[in-house]
Amino acid sequence: MWKLKIADRGGPYSQWLYSTNDFAGRQTWEFDPDAGTLEEKAQVDNAREEFYQNRFQVKPCGDVLLRLQMLKENKDKYDLTIPPVKIGDAEEVTSENATMALRRAVRFFSSMQTSDGHWAADIGGPLFFMPPMNEDGGWGFHIEGHSTMFGTTLNYICMRLLGEGPEGGEDNACARARKWIRDHGGVTSIPSWGKTWLSILGLSEWSGCNPMPPEFWLLPSFMPMHPAKMWCYCRMVYMPMSYLYGKRFVGPLTNVILSLRKELHIEPYNEIQWFKYRHVCAKEDLYYPHPLIQNLIWDSLNVFAEPVLTRWPLSKLRDKALKTTMKHIHYEDENSRYFTIGCVEKVLCMLACWVEDPKSDAFKKHLARVPDYLWMAEDGMRVQSFGSQMWDTGFGVQALLASNLHEEITHTLKKGHDFIKQSQVKDNPSGDFKSMYRHISKGAWTFSDQDHGWQVSDCTAEGLMGCLLFSQLPSEMVGEKMEMDRMFDSVNLLLSLQV
């Protein structure tokens, strides 16, 4: 059986792991073939079968495996025998009935708390991380979304790389997906991120991508397109992408890759005029058309800049830009304990480190953090965006405090309070962080845990709110108050983020 492990320092490459707060908030799944009774294994099998039979009618990831485990671990801590309150149409809702229903909900929610005080859950984000297949044979961008070229192509490639044949998979998934791709014009119309990944895999040529020059990281700070002016997620995606683009990295051309070239493209691969498809995007994927100025900038870079920057003597500038880009990648990796900022950026930064040196310590440290992104549920394994431990706990403890049932859940409140205190970021990013386009983080809370390191304004506000509410209650009920200077750090952080 799969088991969720909390604040665990183990896993593959564990000797390369390090933490700022003894791994509080870390959540990783581990498979133990000997774990679980026959009854528990049957519950898991039933949950998986029920999801599969109803997969087009129900949402993915109801976190049944998590709830089964938490109920087992906490069954002796909470009285969950309170019967549900049922009110007939002609009956009046009384204070007693409402309180009983609230008490039942509070105890059930408390029973879902993990051993280190947070509430665990899947947070998939946009579903290209690991979406379910649609009835038409494609994959979409969101749970409710229509099939897209991006989602369908990447998931088809994943199935093939994992060993499925061209006709394989449940209900002939590969054959159905390939038909969807070819019926919609083939993969040359995949959006820009897809074009990048296809080029990396050897299923497309880099000349079919719009330029992502690493020289971008050498621009002077007064430029309107300076990286410091970009949204952090956007900057962190294009940082490793620009490195891989500048290196023109292509993975090994295996038999599977050569076969995929035939399966995914309408035209023979060697006859495709890649430059014609740089601006092409499938209508299913086009949420907003490219402005003319954007295409003009790309065309100018492609026609005038790239041919010059890839030839001597300006190729020396390209070399310098690649080194500068890797400097930023390593800095972000180290300051996030190799989480980076999210799963999209994680795999790109990890690949960039491997391209630079497959045997490097940086790559091994990346491998050690891969389990932090994987999540198991009744519908199988998925990739999380980066975890929502602090976000969920911040709201959870405020809801519990609002119930006014404090004396019944003191154990829960103490653990939740302790987790929030452990999760506050206590330092700014290392070194001259402003030159690395980073802001102060001391006093902040992240979306996930302290090791992640990226400050978030609303998570910081909710963390501070929780600590202020706890400070008004007796310490024997909720634990010791947070130190005043750490609250001041939080206020200072929030004020610094005003615009």
Bridge partners, 27 (sequence order):
6
Question: What is the average pLDDT across 233-255?
Answer: 97
CA atoms within 13 A on the CB side of 185: 14
Mean pLDDT of 243-267: 97
Range 409-421 average pLDDT: 97
Q: Which helix (H) or strand (E) holds 2?
A: strand 2-6
Q: What is the pLDDT of residue 113?
A: 97
> How wide is the angle at C-alpha 151 spanned by C-alphas 148 and 155, nearest 5°?
140
Domain locations in the chain as residue ranges:
149-383, 387-498
- Residue by residue, DSSP assigns 173-201 as HHHHHHHHHHHTT-GGG--HHHHHHHHHH
Give the pLDDT of residue 96.
94
Q: Give the model's pLDDT for residue 277.
A: 96
Average pLDDT, the chain: 94
pLDDT reported for residue 329: 98
Q: What is the CA radius of gyration of the chain?
A: 25
Tell which CATH architecture fits domain 149-383.
Alpha/alpha barrel (1.50)
**Cα dihedral: 12, 445, 390, 31 (round 10):** 0
pLDDT in the model for residue 125: 65
Q: Which residues have CB under 8 Å from 469's CB, separation 6+?
A: 397, 398, 401
- CA distance linking residue 144 with residue 175, whole number of Å: 23
d(CA 367, CA 13): 7
pLDDT > 70? residue 129:
no
pLDDT in tens, 141-155: 777 778 999 999 999
Phi then psi for residue 6, to 5 deg, are -110, 135
How far apart are the C-alpha atoms of 353 and 329, rounded to whole Å?
8
At 39, list the tokens: 């009854």
Q: What percent of the chain has pLDDT over 90?
A: 84
C-alpha–C-alpha distance, residues 446 and 466, integer Å: 14
How much is the pLDDT for 58?
A: 85
Residue pair 200/231 in contact (Cβ under 8 Å)? The answer is: no
Query: Residue 60's pLDDT is what?
Result: 85
Residue 331 has what pLDDT? 98
Rounded to two decimals, the pTM is: 0.94
* pLDDT one-digit tens code per residue, 52-86: 999 888 888 899 999 999 999 998 888 889 999 99
pLDDT of residue 372: 96
| Residue 267: both structure tokens together | 């035209």
> pLDDT tens digit string along 416-428?
999 999 999 999 9
Cα separation, 340 vs 189, in Å, equals: 29
What is residue 124's DSSP assignment?
-
What does the pLDDT read at residue 126? Answer: 56
Give mean pLDDT, residues 42-51: 96
Residue 477: pLDDT over 80: yes
Q: Where does 54-172 have alpha helices with state H?
A: 64-73, 95-111, 149-161
What's at 276, amino acid-wise?
A: K
The backbone region for 465, taken as left when phi is positive above 0, alpha when psi lies in -120 to 50, beta otherwise, is alpha
Q: pLDDT, tens digit, for every residue of 352-373?
A: 999 999 999 999 999 999 999 9
* pLDDT (0 to 100) of residue 118: 98
93 near 87, Cβ under 8 Å? yes
**Whole-number pLDDT of residue 66:** 97
Q: Could you give the C-alpha distances from 484 to 401, 424, 487, in angstroms and in order?
A: 21, 13, 5
pLDDT of residue 466: 97
Question: Which parts of 265-357 fold into alpha helices (H)?
Answer: 292-300, 306-309, 315-335, 343-356
Could you give the dihedral angle defined by the CA atoms of residues 3, 4, 6 and 11, in that order, rounded to the nearest 10 degrees?
70
Residue 124 has pLDDT above 90, yes or no: no
- pLDDT at 175 > cutoff 90: yes
Q: Does position 22 have pLDDT exceeding 60, yes or no?
A: yes
- The set of catalytic residues is 458
The DSSP line for 360-412 is: -HHHHHHHHHGGGGEEEETTEEEE-SS--HHHHHHHHHHHHHHTT-GGG-HHH
pLDDT 10s digits, 194-242: 999 999 999 999 999 999 999 999 999 888 888 889 999 999 999 999 9
pLDDT-derived band at 127, boundaries 50, 70, 90:
low
Q: What is the pLDDT of residue 465?
A: 97
Q: Encoding tokens for residue 317?
A: 């500038």
